[in-house]
């Protein structure tokens, strides 16, 4: 869509000076939006041709004024075309400021990144340990490193960020830092969030993500089978710390709580439900969506094991997520499990091996996980070969039964 652009001049007749002359004003119109400025020229209003927007007559003063107005018009037009060519967008105010030499402050991508992260920190109540905030900070530092590596500068104007820049940033994370595609795309996704943040502040620029699609590759997330879960649960560990980490992990395997939700679990989160059973009902830390989880015998036994034995009214012994994952590697080795065991795997294992494999409908699984979208639940809960075999056995039994009944009807007839 083309811009409509016009420059015209008029006399400000209500500002006539003692000399009898009035200032000549230039008006710029871009897409029906108008702005104006003083040309520093003056003329007797009676010597001004309103329809033509110029001085009347062939006298020396009239010719000189009209010549200067033509110069102003050409200079303004030049600024208009220059802005349109370099930035892809124009406003009347930007054309006026460019002509008057009032260059607008060029804001940079890292400046916006720092502003975004500071605002996000306010949202999480000034908690610099917040995982999402830390990831945005990591992305800002990675972007700063990329700009120096690729362009040999410390920062870049936001308006210079284009789709090629985005693609190069993706490749930088894959090739230089060895990230897999999905991890590299996460960095790009956070960059897009900051670009959208800049747009929402009123910054005008060509969106570099207009022709770039953030696309993740489907991955097969790990989980434990029920046999592996029970092997960990029944194993006797040589140290108290390994035993405690095992208990945390198994508790999550039967409740689908994430690490942070286990850490934040309070006595008030557990209550007797309408059915007489104990339930965990709490909002998930990440999404603030309420998860409703009925406690089974194993997690109840774990809670009883630590009841009244921990400081500050804690229900379970918690340590840092990094140390937990370090201990889980030892636990996997001791139990003969050849998988990269992480705490988050407990959540996937609960959805797949504890719930879905035992015929719990995926709608119920979604409610337990605290999801608002079944598609999200499908990432956590996979149909295992054992589940497929079990379902096919049931189908075969039904078909066999139907076949027997059919033959019996035929024999009767």
- Same domain? For 141 and 238 the reply is no
- Same domain? For 392 and 376 the reply is no
Q: Which of 200, 235, 254 is the last residue of a domain?
A: 200
- Same domain? For 362 and 403 the reply is no
Range of the domain at 45: 5-100
Task: Pull the structure tokens for residue 334.
Answer: 């001791």
What value does the mean pLDDT of the chain take? Answer: 88
SS (H, E, C) 141-171: HHHHHHHHHHHCCCCCEHHHCCHHHHHHHHH
* pLDDT at residue 413, as a whole number: 46
- Same domain? For 17 and 64 the reply is yes
Decide if 296 contacts 290 (C-beta within 8 A).
no
Assigned domain for 340 exists: yes
Q: What is the pLDDT averaged over residues 218-230? A: 86
- pLDDT band at residue 103 using 50, 70 and 90 as cut-offs: low
**pTM for this predicted structure:** 0.59
Assigned domain for 209 exists: no
* pLDDT at residue 230, as a whole number: 97
Assigned domain for 219 exists: no
- Same domain? For 183 and 244 the reply is no
Closest CA to 13 of 44, 58, 59: 44
Assigned domain for 236 exists: yes
Q: For residue 378, is pLDDT > 80?
A: no
- Same domain? For 264 and 364 the reply is yes
- pLDDT band at residue 210 using 50, 70 and 90 as cut-offs: confident
Q: Which of 100, 128, 146 is the last residue of a domain?
A: 100
SS3 call for 53:
coil
SS3 call for 182:
helix
Q: How many domains does the chain have?
A: 4
* pLDDT at residue 239, as a whole number: 95
- Same domain? For 118 and 90 the reply is no
In angstroms, the CA 94 to CA 316 distance is 61
What CATH number is attached to the domain comprising 233? 1.10.443.10
Distances (CA, A) of 250 to 6, 113, 233, 326: 72, 40, 7, 16
- Same domain? For 44 and 158 the reply is no
- Same domain? For 195 and 241 the reply is no
Question: Which of 2 and 89 is assigned the larger pLDDT?
Answer: 89
Assigned domain for 272 exists: yes
- Same domain? For 305 and 330 the reply is yes
- pLDDT band at residue 177 using 50, 70 and 90 as cut-offs: very high
Assigned domain for 210 exists: no
Q: Per-residue pLDDT tens for 314-356?
A: 899 988 888 999 999 999 999 999 999 999 999 999 988 999 8
Q: Per-residue pLDDT tens for 264-311?
A: 999 999 999 999 999 999 988 888 888 889 999 999 999 999 999 998
Q: Which of 69, 100, 131 is the last residue of a domain?
A: 100
Beta bridge partners of 294: 279
- Same domain? For 235 and 370 the reply is yes
Assigned domain for 310 exists: yes
Cβ burial of 313 (10 Å; 0-12, 13-18, 19+) is exposed
- pLDDT band at residue 409 using 50, 70 and 90 as cut-offs: very low
| Percent of the chain whose pLDDT exceeds 70 | 92
């Amino acid at each position: 869509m083309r811009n409509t652009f016009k420059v015209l001049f008029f006399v400000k007749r209500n500002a006539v000076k003692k000399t009898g002359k009035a200032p000549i004003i230039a008006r710029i119109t871009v897409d029906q939006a108008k702005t104006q400025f003083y040309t520093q020229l003056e003329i007797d209003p009676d010597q001004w041709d309103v329809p033509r927007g110029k001085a009347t007559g062939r006298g020396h003063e009239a010719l000189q004024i009209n010549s200067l107005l033509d110069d102003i018009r050409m200079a303004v037009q030049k600024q208009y075309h220059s802005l349109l060519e370099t930035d892809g967008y124009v406003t009347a105010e930007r054309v006026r400021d460019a002509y008057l030499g009032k260059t607008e402050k060029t804001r940079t991508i890292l400046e916006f990144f720092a502003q975004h992260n500071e605002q996000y920190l306010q949202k999480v109540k000034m908690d610099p340990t917040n995982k999402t905030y830390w990831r945005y900070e990591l992305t800002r530092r990675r972007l700063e490193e990329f700009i120096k590596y690729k362009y040999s500068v410390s920062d870049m104007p936001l308006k210079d960020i284009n789709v090629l820049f985005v693609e190069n940033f993706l490749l930088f994370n894959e090739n230089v830092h060895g990230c897999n595609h999905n991890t590299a795309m996460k960095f790009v996704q956070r960059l897009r969030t900051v670009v959208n943040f800049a747009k929402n502040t009123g910054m005008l620029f060509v969106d570099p993500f207009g022709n770039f699609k953030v696309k993740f590759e489907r991955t097969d997330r790990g989980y434990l089978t029920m046999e592996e879960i029970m092997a960990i649960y029944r194993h006797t560990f040589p140290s108290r710390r390994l035993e405690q980490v095992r208990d945390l992990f198994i508790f999550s395997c039967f409740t689908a709580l994430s690490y942070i939700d286990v850490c934040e679990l309070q006595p008030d989160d557990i209550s007797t439900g309408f059915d007489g059973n104990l339930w965990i009902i709490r909002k998930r830390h990440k999404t603030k969506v309420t998860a409703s989880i009925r406690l089974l015998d194993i997690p109840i036994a774990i809670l009883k094991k630590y009841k009244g034995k921990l400081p500050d009214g804690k229900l379970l012994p918690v340590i840092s997520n990094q140390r937990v994952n370090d201990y889980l590697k030892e636990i996997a080795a001791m139990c003969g499990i050849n998988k990269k065991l992480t705490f988050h795997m407990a959540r996937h294992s609960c959805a797949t091996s504890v719930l879905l494999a035992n015929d719990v409908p995926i709608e119920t699984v979604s409610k337990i996980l605290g999801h608002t979208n079944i598609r999200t639940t499908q990432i956590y809960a996979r149909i295992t070969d054992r589940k497929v075999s079990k379902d096919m056995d049931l189908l075969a039994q039904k078909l066999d039964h139907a076949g027997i009944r059919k033959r019996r009807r035929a024999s009767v007839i």
